[in-house]
Amino acid sequence: MPPPAQCRPGRMPPFAPTFRRHWPCLSLNCPRFTCRPRCMILHPSCECLDETRRDGRQGGGIAVYVRQGLPCSLQPQHQHTSLEVLWLLFRDNIMPREVSHFLIGTVYHPPKANNIDMSHYLMDILDTVSRTHSNLGIILLGDFNQLPDSQLKSYPLSQLVTFPTRGNAILDKIFTNIKPWYQPPLVIPAVDRSDHDTVLLHLIAEPKQPRRNKQTTYRRSSDPNGKSSDTSPSPTF
């Protein structure tokens, strides 16, 4: 399964050798300067999946490095023309009994962006993919700035980052519905010119297999007339 790490780089991260050995997935956010993720080659065995700004604005951009050969695919059908989120879906031949797929979302929400638009968009995508894959593991991470997270926490997702990542503020966050499978995140110094610290997330070597409980998740109606409601059992951990 893909334990992601998050950083905000200008040059190759200093922990790149560790990534090459252990981390199938590395998420990069580059909001303060022009990011050229394809120039930051970590290793020939890494594939770079990126979403850069197309409107000429400086900064911004998201990249995810994935170890080649992993069944982790980009989901362009979920991309938004004006919101900066990159979606990937992971499905291996052998998966944990509790989870059939992993949805990985890498987010950059600029300070002056519309909070309502981003919140609705994230919830819509989570709902859409959860309808297709009911036993879905979710990892949503990135620079959320001042985006309210009450809707994400009530999904329910757990926010793992408990320490400031820029000044005294927790701007870089990791949300997941598989919290028991991960160690508490670590923070290391900022990379290059970034004024945000780097956040690392490690998978527990042998996570306990929790009892499978069913919880009814109420999602917004998929009917444009609002005549039907979608309820479905989902795993909780």
Nearest alpha-carbon partner for 75 in 19, 132, 32, 34: 132
Report the run of H or E that residue 34 belongs to, with start and end.
Answer: none
Count of the separate structural domains present in the chain: 1
Judged by DSSP in three states, 78 sits in helix
Residue 36: the pLDDT is 43
- Give per-residue pLDDT as tens, 79-126: 998 999 999 999 988 888 889 999 999 999 999 899 999 999 999 999
Distance CA 49, CA 20 (A): 16
pTM for this prediction: 0.74
Please compute the mean of the pLDDT values over residues 4-25 and round it to a whole number. 42
Q: Which domain holds residue 40?
A: 4-236
Selection from 9-13, 119-123, 131-135, 204-208 with the highest mean pLDDT: 119-123
Residue 52 sits in a domain whose CATH number is 3.60.10.10
Distance CA 110, CA 126 (A): 21
Which of the two residues, 62 and 42, has the higher pLDDT score? 62
Nearest alpha-carbon partner for 27 in 198, 220, 211: 198
Residue 12: the pLDDT is 38
Q: Are strands 101-108 and 84-90 parallel, antiparallel or unpaired?
A: antiparallel
Residue 201: the pLDDT is 87
- Give per-residue pLDDT as tens, 177-209: 999 998 999 988 876 677 888 888 888 877 666
Is the alpha carbon torsion for 190, 165, 17, 5 positive or negative?
Answer: negative
